[in-house]
Structure 1
Amino acid sequence: MDAEDSLFLAYRLVSVFDNDENYQVCVYTPPNIVSDGLWGGEVNGRTPMKSSLTMFELQAGLILGPSLDIKALNLNHYKKMLFPYGSQDTLATVTSLGYVFFIFVTSVQMDLTMITRTGNKVWGIALVGLLTPIIAGLSCWSFLSESTKAYLGPVYTDLHIVIGTHSLTSFSVVACVLTDLKILNSELGRLALSSALVSDTLSLIIMNTGTALINDIDGEISLVGLAPFFSFVILVPLISRPAMLWVIKHTPEGRPVKEHYIFIIIGMVLGLGWLSVRLNQDFILGPFILGLSVPEGPPLGSALIKKIQLFGLSFLLPIFVTTCVMKVDLTLPFQSKPVLYVIAFILLVHAVKITGCLVVTLCCKMPFSDSLSLALILSCQGVVEVCLFNGIYDSKLLTGQTYGILMIAIMIIASIAQTSLKYLYDPSRKYTSYQQRNIMNLKATSELRMVACLHKQSHITSIIDFLDICHPTTDNPIVVDALHLIELIGRALPIFVPHRQKADPGLHNSYSDNVILAFDFYQQEKPETTVNIYTAISPPRLMHEDVCNLALDKLAAMVILPFHQRWSIDGKIESNDKNIRAINLKVLERAPCSVGILVARASLPKDSPLRLAMVFLGGNDDREALCLAKRAARDPRTNLVVYHLVAEDKAGTSNLENILDKAVLKNVRQENCELSNVIYREIPSIDGSQTTAFLRSIVGGHDYFIVGRRHEVNTPQTSGLTSWSEFPELGAIGDLLASSDCRSRASVLVVQQQESHAQMKWKF
């Protein structure tokens, strides 16, 4: 090798031992970090191809690019030029910071207090999944014959590393798998995360304690190494945790943490990593302990994650993983028998691990498909294992042959597990078989059970106004399960807390204090209403699962969702939350009961009569909306007007639909109406333009509208309106009433009746 193919001035081969070559190198002092350009560096040697930063920029820019056919183009010369001897250290060192930040972010998102609150099932799954494959693997390894050991050579010592590493369960890998599969906050996802947290914590304690008990000069086990290790583990949280709580205390509510605090903590990540190395521990121990000391969630935990996410996790980490895989050399002489033994032990460990998890979960009476899904999730491997194998390989504890097999095994196992999970576990299957849950099918004297969703403090008033409209009485009580939905930021474990039961000490009560106080006060005023309050902290794209699960468990007849737009007093749009809209669309698709989207514009007067209107065209949704309107009309202070828009041509409507419409309208027609506060008006409408003109003429005379969402495609009254709808989830009529063109201050409730799961696959 020529010196020109390296970053060094000169180097020479010193020794060769077990295929390891040791070189003595001559380097620049100080080293050439930056370049003086193509021509400016000829004198001092700081040319682009002899400068570390320039080489790193070239490698990081090209390493993730498309592969080229090296044999056809003979790119060995360019490969040596791009990756000269000595430059790999710079690339690996800089990009390894991505893994350090990944471990730090993972520990920030972990909540170790969950370990003390997990049940026996979680501990059983974690312990069995961790210990049984280790015991089974080491037992088989110890019984290998002497001839086999001699034939395997160095691969024999690799096998115990294979057993130990493949028995582990990484919390961060499991969290990534569940997020990719969109089942993070499902029942299975919560169980998998809790089990992975226990297993990962136990394995980390064992590994780091074992590292602290490294042999001394005489090769004997020494307890001296434990003192600095435990001092480090104890002192870092004791010092850093109060400091971070002080930062949070001095950050105004709703304001971001000052950036200089963020940069100080990032500096501490690197400093504690250096200190970990000085204590003969892995570099990532310090960042991991510091991350556990950070209070999870906003404002500090979420701010740190957002600051590190782009550069550390999205840029440096993928390059580091790529450099780890680049070390795999498939041109090595792979002997068939050692390869088969490594593969056999990998299969043995995973088979025992899956079987152990299956036995524990089946004993807990979990369905077989769910048990197998959980076992596969806990067997997944990813970036943590890639970096773990890379560190072991760099320490010369693994042969290149075994290292290559382990890297390939990670990809195969992850692909098989995730592909199988998509077929085994479908969280929406629980909605496929259930009884009809809607307002139409409720008995006259039965209670009305609803799930009311809130994202912001402004939603409290609109939900309470709607509950007043529903007119709870002693004979017809209302049970409301109020669900406060909060975005999961700065933590990995989704949280679901019932506030009427024992409070979760890991959840800051300030998240839902205002919601709890508001509904407690309302329940005292309206004893006919029972309110149960819950807090769900989960990713926005998975919040619909929390809503649907609660509605299913509580046998709710309707879910009330807030509209994603909010208007100011002058009628202008004040906020527009696209996450809320995405949640509403998914709930409409999967809800196990009827759904109402509430477009709130103004608070209702408490002492004045309510001017309520129901626009009826026909169909399931309109009949459901009318049943809700008739319930509201039981309140004598509510004046209900039912506008029945009738088309002259009814050829597009089936006879059955006409019969059902007439039946539900029968007791609100003027001549048969039992309530003096209900007025029925039949309005002729031949097309969408006439419907639009009529609705605009009445919006000023009402405080509240209740309408159905869907109508038949060829309904003359809405012809032409659908193509102009801005928000299809509101339907043609609801979208028109909610539009700013109507210049209305009336709130609108858009109702969709519950149907079978197979019929609820719409595209918006």
Structure 2
Amino acid sequence: MAEAKACYVEEVFNPNEIWKTGSILTKYAPLLFLQIAFNIFICNIFHYILRPLHQPRLIAEVLAGMCLGLFSATDNIMVRLLLPSEGVINLETYAAMGIMCYCFLSGLEMNLDDILKIQKKKAGSISIAISGIIIPMLMGLGFYALIEKLYQEPSILIFRADNQFKAKAYLFWSLALTITSFPVLARILADLKLLYTGLGKATLTTAMISDTYGWLLLIILIPFANNDVQAFWSVLGTIMFIAFCIFVLRPVMTKYIEGSKNEEEDTWDNSLLLVVLMGTFACSFVTDVLGTHSIVGAFVYGLVLPHGRFADFVMRKLDDFVSVAMSPVFFFRSGLTVNFFMLAQQKYWPCMVLIMFLLSIPKVVSTLIATFFFGVPIRDGVGIGLLLNSKGVLAIIILNTAWDRKILSVVAFSIMVCAVLMMTILVPLLVNAIYKPRKRYENVRLRTIEKLRMDSEVRVISYVLNIRQATSMVNVLRAFNATRISPLHVFGVHLVELIGRATALFASQIKRNPANNSELQNLSHSQLLSENISTIFKTLAEACAAVRVQTLDVVSNYETIHRDIQDLAEQKRTALILMPFHKELDVNGDLETSNDDEVCRNINQNVLQDAPCSVAIFVDRGLGSLSRINLHIMMIFIGGPDDREALAIAWRMARHPGNKLSTIRILLSGEAAAKAETSNHDEIQWLSSAAEDEESQKLLDEECIESFRFKGVYNNDSITYSEEEVHNSEEFMSLLHELDKDDCDLYIIGRGRGGNSVMFLNFMEWCDNPELGVIGDIVTSKSFGSRSSLLSVQQFGSRVMMFGDRDVPTKTDGGGSEPFVNTL
């Protein structure tokens, strides 16, 4: 059969001898803008549909192209409008620019020093990465040979690659199979809340090493795809160019960038972005001329530019535009190239589908072999292997390069693109099924301060968003009585929002220890903030030998970051999660909203719902200004699990030398003790069950108070205990005002609402901050006028249920639903 050829012929007449083309603005630009707008629109639709399945954005972009490719096989008005022959070249050019900028940003956010450090320390990850390259390449050769054997029909020979490229086709096919996309994998792990598990850390490190090897293989392989004779010189020239960028271009650009910095604002002008982008295209042009690929120059250029704050600046300016408006066109175009109709017409199309599924096996097999020698459980080995099947931009680039150079046939190219897509889609679904969350064990109920013995270790997680919150957390933690017999183990967590490119996740996992001010200046804003927060938490350990501090970062979307905190508390087996209040103290001594107001409040409320241990919210009103811990603490006890937990914390603090504890038990009687009545069936059912539980709660309250009085009050002169009786809301408010005259430094209260008391339910309707409870909201309100700090405590098992616009506490006898976590 004669070979089919296609070309574009267009006559151009222009009296201007400089530009050999037609009018750009009137003829080409409108069509290109329409194509870009359609691409962004359709990709966002697919991304919105796939987001609940934890699919990366790249999948939505390729699928969008595939769907349009199905329509392109028929001659319809949409195809003629969006994909006319005269607009193909411009779209291809724009897609090439988009992928160059994408790879530039990929290099900019990676740090070669960190990669080398990881490879020196993680022998297991190196072994998994190497086996994940060698074994899939060998198995990939067999799969490609099978395809060659099946598709020998004369009717498709015109779609077959040239025989002279058969050896190269084997290499490109196998290399695409071995690639693991570190950025895509990082995003998947973050969405599945596995990033901070042992499985997540091991997989992420392996992916980083595998991604590095993938780039090295790409540099070597692509020149051989162009010209076997000059391939050696292309590789040598590329290596020399990389050395030039590292040893010559990097110092020059670093000096130029530092000289362009606005010292007053500690940032750079937007004009610097023009110079940066010009350098990106120049380096891309050099590597393209050398015979490698334009993306190699862009990636290396980004790799050698200064990291830290400059990288933050460039990312902030370019990331959204590149990731949303430029690079999706390249992935869209890749999906558009897939020919489903050609695949469906093949005689052995069921074998083709089977091969797509079998292509996901090599990574799993290689990982199981490597992890077997390190004693990793089979389930974790399968999980790591599945995660390493995550594909991304590098695999797509390799396949497109082979397609553009006619190395791969339509059949081979389409099968591998579909396999890459299918593997990446299945990764989050299968991993989530393997590590499906299950109910907590019953012994989790013991993770409360009340259940801890006085001679046991207290494990606390304290998360913060900024330095001021970290200082507040450290000062309240100092009040805990950490001794050699009952030490304090603090996990200081800095919450970082996951925005933009997922590769930044890995940088945040690497613990940096700047040796001098120069290294400190090179840190990004988030890294510098993390270092400062870590230093503040470590002062807690320096002040007391009985305190152990471990700091870490949690990087995730703010909407779901509470799940990371809950999982971390589960893994660390903590008894308390200490949270900052969303309002901060202003210069006038009032609580005002901060920059992180809504973010912090939403996180706190989400953590309160399903925390695996007790939770406390700390409202700082000057406690951090004390030069030493010498506190007057007031604990208000009404009854219920939250109050008992608050009393347990106050009792521990009272044992700290210099601290004074005043415990006031409020007894409700008369109108204040009246129970709520309702005609709502759901509330009647709950109130009935709560009434059944009320007697048992009273017995527990009495036991707790008697134990406290006998062991605490009678044996410690710094602890006082008194009881006050109130009959209505007026007396209750008067008592609170009277107590506040004692000028205590810290209130410790339970978050509980006082059961189904009418008085407390009425107070709740006026609460501005229900997460603090009734008393907490009153004490922190401006109308109350108190200047004391507050610690509002919720015991595990007593979180609230919502009824309409009102909250009521759940039963604490084990009823209701239990929270869930990812368990490994």
TM-score between both structures, scaled by the size of structure 1: 0.83
Partner of 1:56: 32
- The answer as to 2:580 corresponding to 1:580 is no
2:203 pairs, out of 192, 207, 215, with: 192
Q: Which residue of structure 2 aligns with residue 9 of structure 1?
A: none
Which has more helix, going by share of residues? 2
Match of 1:599 among 610, 619, 629: 619
Match in the other structure for 1:610? 631
Matches within 5 A, 1:25-64: 25-29=10-14, 46=23, 51-63=27-39, 64=41
1:330/1:537 CA distance change after superposition, 3 Å: closer
**C-alpha offsets along residues 50-72 of structure 1, whole Å, 9 cap, x if unaligned?**
6111111222233545999999x
Closer/same/farther in 2, CA of residues 597 and 201 from structure 1, 3 Å limit: same
Change (3 A) 1:758 1:315: farther
SS in 2 for 1:682: strand
- Structure-1 residue corresponding to 2:5: 20
Q: Bigger shift: 323-332 or 139-148?
A: 139-148
**Per-residue deviation, 1:705:** 0.7
Work out whether 1:267 is the aligned partner of 2:293: no
Whether 2:326 is the aligned partner of 1:307: answer no
Deviations 1:400-459 (A, max 9, x none): 344444443344333333222222224787787647222212223334343333432223
Give the counterpart of 2:661 among 611, 619, 640: 640
In the alignment, the residues of structure 2 paired with residue 498 and residue 362 of structure 1 have an alpha-carbon distance, to the nearest angstrom, of 29
CA contact 2:642–2:751 (8 Å) conserved in 1: yes
State the Cα distance separating 1:626 from its structure 2 match.
Answer: 0.3
In the alignment, the residues of structure 1 paired with residue 117 and residue 630 of structure 2 have an alpha-carbon distance, to the nearest angstrom, of: 53
Shift of 1:205: 0.9
Range moving further from structure 2, 419-428 or 117-126:
419-428
Give, in angstroms, the shift of residue 311 of structure 1.
1.6
2:760 alignment counterpart: 718
Counterpart selection for 1:288 from 267, 285, 299: 299
Compared CA separation, residues 457 and 101, structure 1 to 2 (3 A): same
1:742 aligns with 2:776: no
For the 8 Å contact 1:688–1:720, the answer to whether it is kept is no
Q: Is the 8 A contact 2:98 2:326 kept in 1?
A: yes
Distance 1:138-1:518 versus aligned 2 partners, 3 A rule: closer
Partner of 1:560: 578
Letter of the 1:660 counterpart: L
Q: 1:127: Cα distance to partner? A: 1.6
Distance (Å, rounded) in 1 between the aligned partners of 2:712 and 2:652: 17
8 A Cα contact 1:184 1:494, kept in partner: no
Relative distance call for 1:562 and 1:760 in structure 2 (3 A) is farther
Q: Percent identity?
A: 23
How far the C-alpha of 1:286 sits from its partner, in A, is 1.1
CA shift in 2, pair 1:421/1:750, >3 Å:
same
Shift of 1:532: 2.3
Contact 1:185 1:545 in 2 (8 A): no
- C-alpha displacement of 1:355: 2.0
**Aligned pairs for 1:532-547 within 5 A:** 532-536=549-553, 538-539=555-556, 541=558, 544=562, 547=565
In 2, Cα distance between the equivalents of 1:487 and 1:547?
Answer: 13
Larger deviation, residues 326-335 vs 304-313: 326-335
Task: Tell me which of the two structures has the higher relative contact order, counting C-alpha pairs closer than 8 angstroms and 6 or more residues apart.
Answer: 2
Residue in structure 1 matched with residue 703 of structure 2 by the alignment: 663
1:117 equivalent to 2:123? Answer no
Distance 1:31 1:381 in 2: 47
Q: Deviations over 1:79-138 (max 9, x none)?
A: 434433221111221233332222222223333423532422211221222211211232
Secondary structure of the structure 2 residue equivalent to 1:228: helix
- State the distance in 2 between where 1:401 and 1:737 align: 71
Per-residue deviation at 1:222? 5.3
Q: Deviations over 1:345-384 (max 9, x none)?
A: 4444322222222333354343444332222221133454
Distance in 1 (CA, whole Å) between partners of 2:734 and 2:285 is 73
CA distance 1:372–1:526, shift in 2 (3 Å): closer
Change (3 A) 1:679 1:131: same
**1:484-499 paired onto structure 2 within 5 Å:** 484-486=494-496, 491-493=504-506, 495-496=508-509
Q: Is the 8 A contact 1:212 1:281 kept in 2?
A: yes
The residue that corresponds to 2:480 in the other structure is 470
**Separation in 1 of the partners of 2:126 and 2:387?**
16
2:356/2:418 contact within 8 Å kept = no
With 115-124 and 266-275 compared, the bigger mean Cα shift is at: 115-124
How many Å apart are 1:706 and its aligned residue? Answer: 0.7
Measured against aligned partners, the alpha-carbon deviations of 1:138-187 in whole angstroms (never above 9, x if no partner) come to 24655899897576742794666443322322223323333443433443
Q: Distance between the aligned counterparts of 2:639 and 2:16, measured in 1? A: 80
Alignment of 1:51-450 (within 5 A): 51-63=27-39, 64=41, 76-77=76-77, 79-112=79-112, 113-118=114-119, 119-139=122-142, 141=144, 153=157, 154=160, 157=166, 161-213=172-224, 220=229, 223-243=232-252, 245-246=254-255, 247=257, 255-296=266-307, 298-332=308-342, 334-337=344-347, 339=349, 342-426=352-436, 434=444, 436-450=446-460
| Closer, same or farther: CA 587–313 of 1 in aligned 2, 3 Å | same
**Per-residue Cα deviation, 1:675-700 (whole angstroms, up to 9, x for no partner):** 44333343444566764554355445
Flag the 1:646–1:31 CA change in 2: closer, same or farther, 3 A: farther
Code of the residue aligned with 1:127 in structure 2: it is I
Contact 1:640 1:679 (C-alpha < 8 Å) held by counterparts: yes
Code of the residue aligned with 2:616 in structure 1: it is: G
CA contact (8 A) 1:126 1:198 kept: yes
C-alpha distance in 2, partners of 1:331/1:31? 45
Given the superposition, is the C-alpha separation of residues 720 and 449 from structure 1 closer, same or farther in structure 2, using an over 3 Å criterion?
same
Q: Deviations over 1:164-215 (max 9, x none)?
A: 3223222233233334434334432222221111112112212211334567
- Asked if 2 retains the 8 angstrom alpha-carbon contact of 1:548 and 1:590, the reply is yes
2-side partners of 1:728 and 1:312: how far apart?
42
Alpha-carbon distance in structure 1 between the residues aligned to 2:730 and 2:3: 86
RMSD between superposed Cα atoms in Å: 4.2
One-letter amino acid of the counterpart of residue 719, structure 2: V
Structure 1 unaligned spans of 5+: 1-15, 35-43
Letter in structure 1 aligned against 2:118? R
CA–CA distance in 1 between the matches of 2:152 and 2:343? Answer: 19
- Shift of residue 747 of structure 1? 0.9
Shift of 1:743: 2.9
Cα distance between partner residues in 2 of 1:375 and 1:209: 26
CA distance in structure 1 between the partners assigned to 2:418 and 2:69 by the alignment: 21
What letter matches 2:369 in structure 1?
V
In 1, Cα distance between equivalents of 2:704 and 2:365: 57
In 2, are the aligned partners of 1:498 and 1:533 still within 8 Å (CA)?
no
Contact 1:551 1:592 in 2 (8 A): yes
Which has the larger displacement, 660-669 or 711-720?
711-720
Change (3 A) 1:170 1:637: closer
Q: Is the 8 A contact 2:129 2:210 kept in 1?
A: yes
Indicate the residue corresponding to 1:8 in structure 2: none
- With 646-655 and 131-140 compared, the bigger mean Cα shift is at 646-655
3-state SS, counterpart of residue 569 of structure 1: coil
8 Å Cα contact 1:612-1:702 kept in structure 2: yes
Q: 3-state SS of the aligned residue for 2:233?
A: coil
CA separation in 2, counterparts of 1:190 and 1:608? Answer: 38
The CA deviation at 1:660 is: 0.7
